[in-house]
């Protein structure tokens, strides 16, 4: 374990790995469900390289140390009058881990977090310090911004931000059939749309977020209401429910139906990061795939039929989101507006059959797996779905010729 405090210490750690024949992997918050950051060599703990490096207020850009967590950003950005353009519903990741694995939020007008990277400094597999942006080594940029941890150790990232803003959130129960029939329309008409469907029910819970100028008066949930919703209902009660379902799986369909039946509507507004992010303490395993936006309704319907056919008792909801097409070579949204479908299992439950069957459905729709979540795809399969796959591999060959950043997961998805 090495915990560097500066760029030179990262460079020397990579040099040490080269000299001793070990692999070296930077570790952020260890949030990934996949083995993309695993190593039995040198583990590079980036937790001492956190915070603001520089700011360009004229361009609304901030440069951050790579170990900075997403949850730390409001304290950095708010005083500057800035915010991230979009976020997912979890903020435990580091900025480098989130961008390197393709973490995203929802909103078909907005890309994943990596699409807001405008520059980066990294240490390559040859222990060289390299700066990459639109003017320095621009040919490398589409591989560096979302690099899977395969092309170097990010030490700083420069992020394009936006002026601080509010979000108005409207949560409502809607029949699943109606949501599926109007999914693309809903996704394109609003800023941010997502829905959750509890298997064994006919209803979904939708969440629609509208961007609001910072000058308007927010209408946040009260502290008591937020505590009841996040800590009591979403964590304590839901945790007890899924734990009970693990012991008595036959009760799961009725419990899900009860949850759906008591789902209610609410309307509130607050700082963007407070609306985007939800506290999640119930442990689970997750698989998520990107598929073409237009194919989401069919894929979800096939998931529902598969769960019924296999007589699976699934306690966790299926989460469905969207993102804009982008031009990052290994992005799950490369070249296409994308829908994201995520399946989960309580951590004590067997996930094999459910995830295997779900993955078959996703693959049939041209699915691309989230790099930080569970999947079984290999290089031969992924090459078919990523038009710039071989371009990325060539950049990897250039920046890590000795494969000092390799591990079994990268060997499987990129080739040895």
- In total, the chain counts a number of residues equal to 416
Asked if residue 382 belongs to a domain, the reply is no
Question: What does the H/E/C string look like for 257-322?
Answer: HHHHHCCCCEEEEEEHHHHHCCCCCCCEEEEEEEEEHHHHHHHHHHHHHHHHHHCCCCCCCEEEEE
Instruction: Give the C-alpha separation, 131 to 120, whole Å.
Output: 6
- Which residues pair with residue 153 across a beta bridge? 123
The residue among 249, 237, 238, 199 whose CA lies nearest residue 349 is 249
Residues 6 or more apart whose CB falls under 8 angstroms from that of 181 comprise 297
187-226 pLDDT, tens digit per residue, is: 999 999 999 999 999 999 999 999 998 888 899 888 888 8
- Taking residues 16-23, report their average pLDDT: 96
**Which band of pLDDT confidence, cut at 50, 70 and 90, is reported for residue 230?**
confident
Instruction: Give the C-alpha separation, 402 to 396, whole Å.
Output: 10
| SS3 state of residue 239 | helix
Alpha helices for 140-231 (secondary structure H): 141-144, 176-181, 183-189, 223-226
| CATH number of domain containing 248 | 3.40.462.10
Task: Identify the domain containing residue 118 by its residue range.
Answer: 7-163+391-414
240-251 pLDDT, tens digit per residue, is: 888 898 888 998
Instruction: Give the C-alpha separation, 28 to 405, whole Å.
Output: 15
The secondary structure element, H or E, covering residue 342 is strand 338-346
Instruction: Give the C-alpha separation, 96 to 73, whole Å.
Output: 13
345 and 255 in a single domain? The answer is yes
Asked if residue 96 belongs to a domain, the reply is yes
At 228 the pLDDT is 74
At 133 the pLDDT is 94
At 23 the pLDDT is 96
36 and 69 in a single domain? The answer is yes
Asked if residue 104 belongs to a domain, the reply is yes
The secondary structure element, H or E, covering residue 25 is strand 24-27
The residue among 130, 73, 64 whose CA lies nearest residue 96 is 64
| CATH number of domain containing 49 | 3.30.465.10
Instruction: Give the C-alpha separation, 266 to 261, whole Å.
Output: 15
Whether the pLDDT of residue 229 is over 80: the answer is no
Domain count, the chain: 2
At 224 the pLDDT is 83
264 and 176 in a single domain? The answer is yes
Q: At what angle do helices 238-247 and 252-261 cross, to 10 degrees?
A: 160
- Taking residues 257-272, report their average pLDDT: 89
- Phi, psi (deg, nearest 5) at residue 129: -90, 125
At 227 the pLDDT is 78
48-99 pLDDT, tens digit per residue, is: 999 999 999 999 999 999 999 999 999 999 999 999 999 999 999 999 999 9
290 and 207 in a single domain? The answer is yes
Higher pLDDT, 263 or 86: 86
Instruction: Give the C-alpha separation, 189 to 194, whole Å.
Output: 12
Higher pLDDT, 370 or 27: 370
143 and 174 in a single domain? The answer is no
313-363 pLDDT, tens digit per residue, is: 999 999 999 999 999 999 999 999 999 999 999 999 999 999 999 999 999
Read off the tokens for 357. Answer: 């069957």
Query: Is residue 83 a contact partner of residue 63, using CB atoms and an 8 Å limit?
Result: no
Query: Is residue 328 a contact partner of residue 142, using CB atoms and an 8 Å limit?
Result: yes
Place of tokens 């030490």: 155
The residue among 89, 107, 108, 111 whose CA lies nearest residue 99 is 111
Q: At what angle do helices 296-310 and 352-364 cross, to 10 degrees?
A: 150
45 and 135 in a single domain? The answer is yes
249 and 234 in a single domain? The answer is yes
Asked if residue 112 belongs to a domain, the reply is yes
- Cα–Cα–Cα angle for 339, 363, 35, rounded to 5 degrees: 85
272 and 180 in a single domain? The answer is yes
268 and 225 in a single domain? The answer is yes
User: If you average pLDDT over every residue of the chain, what do you get?
Assistant: 95
* Pairing of β 61-65 and β 153-160: antiparallel
Read off the tokens for 76. Answer: 């950095």
Instruction: Give the C-alpha separation, 182 to 218, whole Å.
Output: 29
371-412 pLDDT, tens digit per residue, is: 999 999 999 999 999 999 999 999 999 999 999 999 999 999
């Amino acid at each position: 374990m090495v915990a560097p405090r500066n760029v030179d210490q990262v460079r020397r750690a990579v040099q040490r790995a080269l000299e001793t024949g070990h692999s070296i992997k930077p570790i952020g918050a260890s949030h990934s469900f996949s083995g993309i950051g695993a190593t039995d060599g040198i583990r590079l703990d980036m937790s001492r390289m956190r915070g603001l490096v520089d700011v360009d207020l004229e361009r609304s850009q901030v440069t951050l140390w790579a170990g900075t967590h997403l949850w730390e950003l409001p304290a950095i950005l708010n005083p500057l009058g800035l915010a991230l353009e979009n976020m997912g519903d979890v903020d435990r990741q580091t900025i480098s881990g989130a961008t390197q694995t393709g973490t995203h939020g929802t909103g078909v007008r907005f890309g994943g977090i990596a699409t807001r990277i405008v520059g980066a400094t990294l240490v390559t597999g040859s222990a060289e310090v390299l700066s990459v942006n639109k003017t320095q080594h621009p040919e490398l940029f589409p591989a560096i911004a979302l690099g899977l941890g395969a092309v170097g150790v990010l030490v700083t990232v420069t992020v394009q931000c936006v002026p601080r803003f509010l979000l108005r959130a409207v949560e409502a129960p809607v029949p699943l059939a109606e949501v599926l029939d109007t999914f693309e329309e809903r996704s394109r008409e609003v800023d941010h749309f997502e829905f959750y469907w509890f298997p064994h029910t006919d209803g979904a819970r939708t969440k629609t977020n509208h961007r609001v100028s910072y000058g308007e008066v927010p209408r946040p949930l009260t502290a008591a209401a937020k505590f009841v919703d996040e800590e009591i209902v979403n964590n304590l009660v839901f945790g007890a429910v899924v734990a009970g379902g693990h012991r008595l799986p036959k009760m799961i369909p009725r419990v899900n139906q009860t949850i759906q039946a008591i789902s209610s509507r609410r309307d509130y507004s607050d700082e963007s990061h407070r609306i985007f992010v939800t506290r999640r303490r119930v442990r689970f395993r997750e698989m998520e795939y990107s598929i073409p936006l237009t194919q989401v309704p069919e894929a979800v319907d096939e998931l529902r039929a598969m769960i019924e056919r296999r007589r699976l008792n699934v306690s966790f909801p299926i989460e469905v989101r969207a993102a804009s097409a982008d031009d990052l070579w290994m992005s799950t949204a490369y070249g296409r507006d994308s829908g994201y479908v995520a399946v989960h299992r309580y951590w004590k439950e067997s996930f094999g059959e459910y995830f295997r069957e779900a993955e078959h459905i996703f693959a049939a729709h041209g699915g691309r797996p989230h790099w930080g979540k569970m999947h079984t795809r290999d290089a031969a399969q992924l090459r078919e779905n990523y038009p710039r796959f071989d371009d990325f591999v060539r950049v990897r060959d250039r920046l890590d010729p000795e494969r000092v950043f390799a591990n079994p997961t990268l060997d499987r998805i990129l080739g040895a």
